[in-house]
A and B are shown apart, each in its own frame.
Chain A
């Protein structure tokens, strides 16, 4: 039997804003699993903490309560809610990828370098990394004239594809996706869906936030529905 690469148990997160003396609940008691070659979709209304679950797993947010068990290739399990910062950095480098709706990157780097950077950080040589980046950009239909330009001036859809390529290039075992097709035209969306299907078949486990029911229908093997928390409770 296939064992889960990610098991989230009773994950809760709330923000405490000192200035306002307010606690803002985000997600509560979330349970979910991700398996290799499968995509688990998180659905639910806006503000129910879907993106927060992804960010807690990637540790951009500090999880409040619960366990986030990641199983690596050798079968060892790490609780990402408790792991050291260095351990999390190591996993980000090799095992866990995150594609957000927004692109955060060096403002002055050409798109090709932005995409190849994760491979460089892993010690690949520049040529190999650039070749792999070029392959992905071609696959995602990013016009070649843009490759040497920094993505700052790109359209939303172009940026999103750069972001996807950057997330996919390091071939993570676990891929976290936050609305990966949010600002893409139908043609490009199709390419992204094809690409995700291919990667999934190769063995990657994915956890994704989608807004379109159609994407869930086409890509998801499991669906987790989140219920909104009370929006604000003052202490």
Chain B
């Protein structure tokens, strides 16, 4: 299998930071606030790889630093530590040493993201189709007819329905808004897709259909995905491999069925035992 992403020692510190931040925080001390300089270590020492077409789950409670990982990889936040290499058609991109234009190019062409909060992923002043068009325009497709055609296909594929492409997503239900975000993210056929708590807050039947859609996409397009969630059900359904985080660190990583049936860390055991 082909590697698409290699993340090494990635970390994010909010605040000034000090040389003792990383050593003084984490699951062993049960905190992510550095006692010496009061900086918040959102996460540190994050290393993993992602292969073409696989879904990697990142699981952990709120505040464990899991969303910050995908936000850094999508250039929403600057990392404080570490590096990430993206392997693309024979090129290697060292993500955090690229200039702003190169980063924007990867964001628009090669990565997609679906946020928990649709306001982050969509512009509610544009129509659903307009949101997709915006992304397509940034990725060099400029023919009006072709853009509309592509938007129509994507909204049909994600079951939003092409008849609603000229409406603002403002009028859509939460599940529909997530579908528009998925359509937008997929519009440039990115090899890597980041999913940040995409089904959190949706009702169960809507969750199920969104997850089905994500799996169909993975099987059809072979998109590699990182799925961040606190929901064990989502992990079980989507992820081939899973990383478990606590206090900003990876405490356990393995095959998803192994993490769920034979968890090693005390926290993971507690988490699995608490599942409904």
Contact = CB atoms under 8 A, between A and B. Distances in A.
B35 interface: no
Query: Chain A, interface size: which category?
Result: 20 to 34
A55 interface: yes
A62 B264 contact: yes
A221 interface: no
B266 interface: yes
Contacts of B212: 106, 108
B235 to A, nearest CB: 13
A217 B18 CA distance: 69
A121 interface: yes
Given A85-B254, A108-B208, A108-B212, A60 B262 contact: yes
Interface stretch (A3-11, A15-23, A35-43, A175-183): A15-23
Contacts of A108: 208, 212
Interface string B232-251: 00000100110000000000
Contacts of A19: 266, 269-270, 273
Interface stretch (A66-74, A86-94, A199-207, A225-233): A86-94
B261 interface: yes
A212 B118 CA distance: 56
A77 B66 CA distance: 37
A86 B262 contact: no
Contact of A60 (B240, B255, B266): B255
A120 interface: yes
Interface residues of B, number: 23
Interface in B217-276: 219, 237, 240-241, 253-255, 257-258, 261-262, 264-266, 269-270, 273
Given A85-B241, A106-B212, A108-B208, A18 B266 contact: yes
A4 to B, nearest CB: 24
A59 interface: yes
Interface in A174-221: none
Given A15-B262, A19-B270, A61-B262, A88 B255 contact: yes
Interface in B51-67: 51, 54
Contact of A85 (B237, B255, B262, B264): B255
B255 A89 contact: yes
Interface of A: 15-19, 55, 59-62, 85-86, 88-90, 106-108, 120-121
Given A18-B265, A55-B261, A85-B253, 20 more contacts: A15-B262, A16-B264, A19-B269, A19-B270, A19-B273, A59-B255, A59-B258, A60-B258, A60-B261, A61-B258, A62-B264, A85-B241, A85-B254, A86-B1, A86-B51, A106-B212, A106-B215, A107-B208, A108-B212, A120-B219
9 contacts: A16-B264, A17-B269, A18-B266, A59-B255, A89-B241, A89-B255, A106-B215, A108-B208, A108-B212
